[in-house]
Amino acid sequence: MPFSIFCRVLWLVLCSNALTIYFASHSIRTVVVTTLACSLLLQLAYFASVLFLIWRSGCVSRAGQRAEHFGTCKEVGSQPPDHDEVTNESAALLQRDQMLAISLLLPEAP
């Protein structure tokens, strides 16, 4: 968005806020305070969105680096784990967790 359009939209938002507050409260002091608060809120939202975009671009670049690393691992010849091994390990962990939950729920015998 061009800067001139951004300034116009910002001015429009702040003026409409000021007019709305003035017609609701008929107080210049309230108009000034709420307009400044609205301006501060818009600046905070802009700053947060910039931080979010920086964070997201960092995540994308890290994902790209992981993908490149994964590609080099395939070239070396590393293989992903066998599906049956993963399933057996998952079943064993699930059974262990269920037994632990049952032992915690059942009262101990005196």
| Extents of the domains making up the chain | 3-104
| Percent of the residues in the chain that have a pLDDT greater than 90, as a whole number | 35
Tell me the C-alpha distance between 34 and 56, whole Å. 32
pLDDT tens digits, 35-65: 999 999 988 998 999 999 998 888 877 776 6
Q: Read off the tokens for 89.
A: 């390990």
Taking the model in full, what pTM does it have?
0.49
Cβ count near 18 (within 10 Å) = 17
Tell me the C-alpha distance between 72 and 50, whole Å. 33
